[in-house]
Amino acid sequence: MQDLVTVFGGSGFIGTQIVRALARQGLRIRVAVRQPHLAHTMRLMGDVGQIEVVQANVRNEASVRRALDGAQACVNAVGILFEAGAQKFKSVQVEGAANVAKAARNLGVERLVHISAIGADANSSSEYARTKAQGEEAIRAAYPEAVIIRPSVVFGQGDGLFEKFAEMAAASPALPLIGAATRFQPVFVSDVARAVAAAVLDPSAAGKTYELGGPGVFTMQQVLDLVLAETERRRILVPLPFGIAKLIGALCQPLALLTVTPPITADQVELLKRDNVANPAMPGLAELGVTAPITVEAVLPTYLYRFRKGGQFADQAITTA
C-alpha cells in the first residue's frame, strides 16, 4: 500500500487523534471536512506537507469522490450525536457511510475503516443506534472487506461524557442521574486512534468488526462520582426516571437549531437504557495491538482539573465549592 489516507471527519474529537496516529506512522493524510477553514490547525499534526485539508461532505457524492482521488486507504470517522439542520442521522450515518463505501470501491481504494459504535442495533429504540447499524450494513454491502470499529463511550479532553458533567457540576448545585445502573466501558481516544491506525495498516483486519472498550467498566452513578471527586465538587445527584428524562430531552432538542449543543436529547435517553460494554467474544483493542489501554483514572486529572474551583490553582483555594 502506498501512503495516502483520506480521513472523513478528521477534525472531530476522534478524527483528530486518528490523524495524529496515522501521521506518526509516516503516512500522508488528507483530512476531509465540511468546513476546512475551521480545520487549519490539522496541518500542525504532522511534518510539513504531510497533512492536507480538503472540503468534503459525506452527504455529497461528488465531494466524497474528490476527497478519495488518489488515496490508497480511507477512514470514515463521521457521525453525529444529535440532529441539527441538514445533519440527520439517516443522511449522515447511513447514506453518508454508503457514499464513502461506494466511492472507495469504485476508485479502487485498498482499505476502508469505518467508525461505528457499540450498541449499533437495527432494532434499537434509539435512532442513533439504528442508523449506526444501518450504516454498517451499507458499508458491508458496498465494500465487504471494510474494517468496522465499534468503540464504547470515548473519553479524553473535549469528550461528551466526563467533561460535559464536569461543566454541569461547575454551574449547578445538582446533577441529573439518568440510568444509574447502566454500564459503560470508556475507552481513551488515543487508544481508539492507535487501533484505527493499526486497522489501516494490517491486511489481516480486512472484513472484521472490532469492539473497543477500556480496562474499566463503570455505572452511570460511578461516572458522576468520578467527576465530582476529580473536580472536588459536592453536588446532589437527582435520579430521573427515563420517562421524565425523555421529556426533558425533547424540550432540549430545539437548542440544536440555535447551534447550541443540547445537554440531553430524547434519543440519547433511549441509549442510556442499555449497557455500552464490549462483547468479550469479539476482537478488540488487543487484537489491534493496543495491549495496555489507558485507564480513566489516569487521564481524568489531566483535563478535569479546569473545572475545580480555582482551576489549575485549586490547591491554593481557601475553600472548596
Q: Which domains does the chain have, with CATH numbers?
A: 4-155+186-213+277-290 (3.40.50.720)
Cβ-in-10-Å burial (0-12, 13-18, 19+) of 181 comes to exposed
**pLDDT confidence band for 69 (50 / 70 / 90):** very high
Task: Please state the pTM of the whole predicted model.
Answer: 0.94
Higher pLDDT, 311 or 2: 311
Q: How far apart are CA 61 and CA 102, in angstroms?
A: 9
| Count helices and strands in the chain by DSSP H and E runs | 11, 13
pLDDT confidence tier of residue 289, bands split at 50, 70 and 90 = very high
Which one, of 9, 314, 260, 301, lies nearest residue 156 by Cα? 301
Alpha helices, H only, the chain? 13-24, 61-68, 89, 96-106, 127-142, 162-171, 189-201, 220-231, 242-252, 266-271, 296-304
pLDDT tops 60 at residue 38: yes
Cell 444509574 found at: 180
Cβ atoms within 10 A of the Cβ of 172, count? 13
- Cα separation, 184 vs 226, whole angstroms: 13
State mean pLDDT over 235-242: 96
Q: Calculate mean pLDDT across residues 215-242.
A: 97
Report how far residue 152's alpha carbon sits from residue 211's, in angstroms, rounded to the nearest whole number: 8
Region 269-291: what's the mean pLDDT?
97
Q: Hey, which residues does 218 pair with through a beta bridge? A: 184
As a whole number of angstroms, the distance between CA 74 and CA 316 comes to: 48
Q: What is the mean pLDDT of residues 146-161?
A: 97
CA within 13 Å, CB half, 55: 6
pLDDT in tens, 88-140: 999 999 999 999 999 999 999 999 999 999 999 999 999 999 999 999 999 99
Residue 316 has pLDDT above 90, yes or no: no
What pLDDT score was predicted for residue 1? 45
Q: Tell me the average pLDDT of the chain.
A: 94
Residue 320: predicted pLDDT: 47
Is residue 317 pLDDT above 80, yes or no? Answer: no
Judged against a pLDDT cut of 70, whether residue 2 lies above it is answered with no
Query: How would you classify the pairing of strands 183-184 and 218-219?
Result: antiparallel
Per-residue pLDDT, 314: 62
Give residue 231's pLDDT.
95
Q: Which three cell numbers mark 152?
A: 464504547
Amino acid 257: pLDDT: 82
The angle, 0 to 180 degrees and rounded to 10, between the axes of the packed helices 296-304 and 220-231 is: 50
**Residue 217, Cβ neighbours under 10 Å: how many?**
16
Residue 261 pLDDT > 60: yes
Q: What is the pLDDT of residue 309?
A: 87
> How confident is the model over 30-39, as a mean pLDDT?
94
Interatomic CA distance for residues 162 and 175, integer angstroms: 12
Helix (H, G, I), strand (E, B) or coil at 236: strand
Strands (E), 99-138: 111-115
Cell of 243: 420517562
Task: Answer yes or no: is pLDDT of 318 > 50.
Answer: no
